[in-house]
């Protein structure tokens, strides 16, 4: 089985991944164009000093990746980091090493040290967004219900609209990534 470092070495840049996108490309680039990395919080300076790499496990069809990846790309650009992308469905061995509650949820961001060891894992959503999504999912009818598909489709459409139009959600993602990565960077010193 390959290591995360081997996956990283074989992966494409996050920029190239976004340029290749099909399903959520316009929405993802809309977020990318509008999101600005907060200034003067020390996170970017720490990233610049430590120079970790980040391996992203993602897929184009994922709405969470559509929102989160452009934010990570802005962080990477501000800190001059090498961030690369592995497609979840091309080789499930990687995602199977980084399951979320037993599932192959994405995106997953693996913060790697100089040796390519995973020092932090983030994803698939910011904690407060995850809580909100889980709470709202409870309102959906049972999967066997005749109106489940219709209600689920409406739920996803509403979520995608929020993800693409609410900058406060983007800032929540940024802060959650920061909260996950900073302690790992401080420990690695």
pTM of this prediction?
0.94
pLDDT for position 189: 63
- Three-state SS string over 8-36 comes to HHHCEEHHHHHHHCCCCHHHHHHHHHHCC
pLDDT for position 122: 97
Question: Tens digits of per-residue pLDDT, 2-26?
Answer: 999 999 999 999 999 999 999 999 9
| pLDDT, averaged in runs of 10, over the chain (189 residues) | 94 97 96 93 92 96 96 97 96 94 95 94 96 94 95 95 96 97 85
Nearest Cα residue to 162 out of 59, 32, 64: 64
Nearest Cα residue to 4 out of 122, 124, 120, 116: 116
List Cα–Cα distances, 96 to 4, 108, 124, in angstroms: 12, 11, 14
Please answer whether residues 10 and 51 qualify as being in contact, where contact means their C-beta atoms are separated by less than 8 angstroms: no
Kindly report the number of other CB atoms within 10 A of residue 118's CB atom.
16
Please name each of the domains of the chain with its CATH number: 4-127+167-187 (3.40.30.10)
C-alpha–C-alpha distance, residues 89 and 164, integer Å? 25
pLDDT for position 8: 97
pLDDT for position 187: 83
């Amino acid at each position: 089985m390959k290591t995360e470092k081997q996956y990283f070495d074989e992966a494409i840049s996050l920029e190239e991944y976004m340029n290749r996108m099909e399903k959520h490309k316009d929405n993802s680039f809309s977020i990318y164009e509008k999101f600005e990395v907060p200034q003067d919080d020390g996170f970017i300076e720490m990233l610049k000093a430590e120079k970790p790499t980040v391996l992203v496990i993602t897929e184009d069809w994922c709405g969470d990746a559509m929102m989160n990846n452009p934010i990570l790309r802005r962080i990477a650009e501000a800190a001059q980091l090498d961030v690369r992308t592995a497609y979840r469905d091309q080789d499930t061995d990687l995602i199977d090493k980084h399951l979320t509650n037993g599932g192959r949820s994405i995106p997953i961001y693996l913060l790697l040290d100089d040796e390519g060891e995973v020092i932090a894992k983030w994803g698939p959503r910011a904690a407060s967004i995850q809580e909100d999504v889980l709470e709202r999912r409870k309102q959906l009818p049972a999967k066997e219900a005749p109106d489940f598909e219709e209600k689920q489709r409406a739920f996803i459409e509403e979520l995608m609209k929020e993800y693409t139009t609410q900058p406060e959600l983007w800032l929540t993602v940024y802060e959650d990534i920061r909260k996950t990565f900073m302690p790992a960077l401080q420990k690695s010193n």
